[in-house]
Structures are given as C-alpha cells and as structure tokens.
Structure 1
C-alpha cells in the first residue's frame, strides 16, 4: 500500500472512532437528561380507563381563570385575548361584572375595586395593541399572566390593585356572588372553589361545605384522605405558589394547567393508595398554599346551582374529614 493510501485509511479510521465516541456520549447525555427531567414518583402501572365511569369528565372543566382564552403571539399566532374573551370565561364561571371596561389606561396603573368591599372578586385587565402586561398585584398576591396580554387578579375587599407593564390596557371588575373573605386563606383559593362549584354543578355535582388545607412535598401534592369504606371520592384542589401542574391516573396523563403560579384541578382518591397524581413547579420565592374540598358526584347534567350556595368552611387541624358516599373503584386489582 502506498504511503498516501495508508495515511488516508488512518485518517478515515480516526474519524470513525471520533464519531463513535460522540454517539456514545450523546446517547449517555440524552439518558441523563431523561432521568433528570422525568416526572418523579409516577407509578409504573398504566391504567387507561377511569377508576369509575364518568368520574373524570367533569373535572376536565377545571383550570385556572385567565388561561385558555385565545392563542397569543408567544404561540406564534396573530391574535390576543380580548375583553370579550375575558368576559365570556368569567361569566361562565359565575362572576358578575360590577365595573364596565375602562377606557385605555397607561401602565403601570393602580385602581381600587370599591365594588368588592366586604366580598371577593377579580380585577381583569387586557392590553391594547403595542402594550404588555407583566403582572397584577393585590395586597396579598402577585399574579403572573397565563395568556399573553391578560391578567386576572383575585382579591377580597377594596384595597388597591396595581397592574404592571407598559403601554395601555383596559380594566374591568367582576364580583363572585356569595364569595366572602376566609381568614388565613388566599382570595384566589376562595374564588377558585366558588368557580369549581359553578362549573361542576352543570354535571350535577355538589361540594361538601368542609374543605381542608392540603400539602405538597416539593412540587407534588401529598396524598389526600381516603374514604374509610374504600371506593373513590373526587376532590377539587386549588393552589397558589404552585404552577404549571398536570395530573395523572396511574401513569395516564389526565389534565394540564398552564398557569405559572397557581392551579385549579380535580383529583380522584380511591382506596389502597390509588389516587390521581398531581405535580407542577414552585416558582422561586413562593410558598404554596393549597386547599382541597370533596365532591358528591351527580347522575347527569343539571342546571347550574347559584354560585356560593355552599359556603366553604375550613376544617381546623385535627378535625375529622367529612366524606360524601364513595363510588366503586372499578380499576382496583
């Protein structure tokens, strides 16, 4: 073999070896990324059907207000949510508009929702073309947008709300009939559970008056109480300080909530530690507060119950949990 041919073969062999090393390294890196980003503590078992027929369907109506309004520029679309989109969603959740949309206001802007004195509701804002909403701040909360160009700030009482951003925005105020401040509970949680009552009443579901503080480990919801007789019970869980949540039933993805710093979701708790898995992320600097409330399943669609018709009562630590009658777990081993 000539010297030139020998050098060419050696160069070719070296290139193959380098590509082989790169391929192994890339595969190893991909495996590490998959392990690091994999959802923690998800059961290996995958059950593709509901634990009880019809128990999951109504829970798909639950997600954070201000989400799923319209595709925004951050999704590559050309439209942004409008005041009509906001009004349509809030009205469907039981809110009543108590202040008509304002003329365009220059951001940042501060407003006092005097219409909400002694009650709870939201201050909703949406940008004019060329504007940007960064957040909304109440005395007890700072709300990040879920959809580009819209922020919906939950609040109780008439303390000022500040809208952060630049450009112009329009603002309206909505009250939630029957929703009253609850000592020690974030206004968002009071309102989220009032919304859930309205949304689930359309399926004939009704909440029990008693709710309880829920906890999380890291960004994963801790187990909720099981019914002492077994079977399954649906719960509604709302939280602030924990966002971008998803739920799974034994490995099967059920719902997602894209709000960055709060959530509203349904979970099903069955006997034998079989329950919906809920997880998300905790934004830096947040301390989550979660509130769970059990529901009694209905037998089918019904007219909406008046919002707030079942006032929320928070169980104190050590109080016994009150359960509705359970339904059979048809996926139990």
Structure 2
C-alpha cells in the first residue's frame, strides 16, 4: 500500500546542481515532458477486442507511473520556500520533503488530475484509445479478405484525418460484406466527422441490426442526434444504452450534456454529470476531466441564476467536494 515518503535533501547538493536545473526549467516544462512520457506509454496500449474499462485502467497506470515524478519535481521547484525549514544535523543542513503517494490522498490526486487534464487536452493517443470500443462479437470482423483490406485502409485514412477517403473505404468494406459491423460503426463515425449526420445515423442503425447491443453505435447514434438537435431521440438512445450497461458512465455523461448544454436543465444535468464523474473515478477513466469541465460550466450557469446553494447540495448528495 502506498504511503507518505519522507525525502531528505542536503543543502550542499542543492547548491551544487539542483538549483541550476530548476532555474532553467519550470513546472510547465516538467508537466509537458512527463505528459509526453505518459502519452508514449498510452500509445503502446493494445486496444483490439478489449473493453473500454480495461483500456482505462491501462491508461491510468501510464499516468500513475509519471505522477510521482511530477510530485517530486514540483516540490523541488519550490525548494527556496522549503529552505526556511532547514534543520542542522551533525553540522549539515538538511531539508525534508514529504511525498504522499497514496492514490486516495488529496495531495496525490492534485498532481494526478493535473497531469490527466493536461493529457486529455494534448495527448491525441489518449483520446484515440478511449474513443475506441472494439469489443469483438461474432460479426464484428469479416472473413472476407477484400472487405478486411478496405477496412484497414479506412482505419489508416481516418487516423491521418482523411475522413472522406475513410468513408469511401468503409463503404467498400460493407459492400463486400454487409454483415461487417465494425465497418458500419466506423463508416458512421467518419460520416459524423464530415457533419453528415443522417448518413452517420443510417450507418449506426445498420450496425445495430447486426448487433442490437453494440455499445459503439448506440453511444454514437445518441451523439449524432444531439448534433441534429433531436434531443428526445438522443435521450432515448442513451436509455437503451443504459439497459445494456447500467454502469456505463457515458450514459450519464450523455444525459448530463443533453440536459445541461442543450436543454438548460442544469439541475438534472448536474445530477447526471455527478454520477458520470464518480463512475469515471471508480473506473479510473481520464474522461473524469471532461465531466469536471461540464460540472464547472453548470456551476457558472447556476451561479448566474442564484442557485449556488442547490449546486452545492447536489455535489454534497453525490459525495463530491466543491474544490
């Protein structure tokens, strides 16, 4: 079990080397370098035929592996303040630095969440891994080699941002094998990226006819309906998703965004977003940072309406600290 670590640093060492390193660096530089290291770790994660909860745990480990370094580096950069607490032992000046590396401690969470937020904004690999839900079923892949080749070309095109080319290849894949559900899913995703929402919905519906319990098309069809401002249909899709996976935080995140962002029902939006936030934490998902952003947005809107007390009460009911 992780606990508090006490480090003793001799001021003579500090004066010889650490000071210069810290002066030439900054917390922002340290954050960037460690985030890049964590992102490289995430890039190596294999996601095929793996549930999103398992992917989230592997991403968590990548962030966790660099959090301790960020804690220590940040505290060393504040060493000038720490020098006020110098102890003289056996004629040597020493500075004590404590690191609370217990994952449940507020100190650890502060540094972990800061890294997580930074990486959610800048680590493309993290977003790519978390947006993929390729849990395989009997008809997820194709035994048709030609369809498989078109699918692979579509994936490559999509990764490089060539969405129209991706659409053409995924369309060819489903023409070769109409039961190829992953190809239908990705066809829908890339139509949505091109703002062709009706075509995206049609592709998702084709996928759902093949696999009515497909998590990816159910989740994405709800998003497409939100873009079309058909909010009742979006809510209906999220409800169907909740029947299949009641502990899926994306359900509550979806409800929260529809109610808060689209319908301005901030109380109902906050209630759902708090559930999503807690589920993301429980599952160690980096999407916690996205839920946090929506909660902050709801706070600003409820504050304008003089509803801060209600906001605070909903957070309290969900065991979430206002900080």
* Greater RCO structure (CA 8 Å; 6+ sep): 1
- Greater fraction of residues in strand: 1
**TM norm. shorter chain > 0.5:** no
- Greater fraction of residues in helix: 2
TM-score (norm 2): 0.28
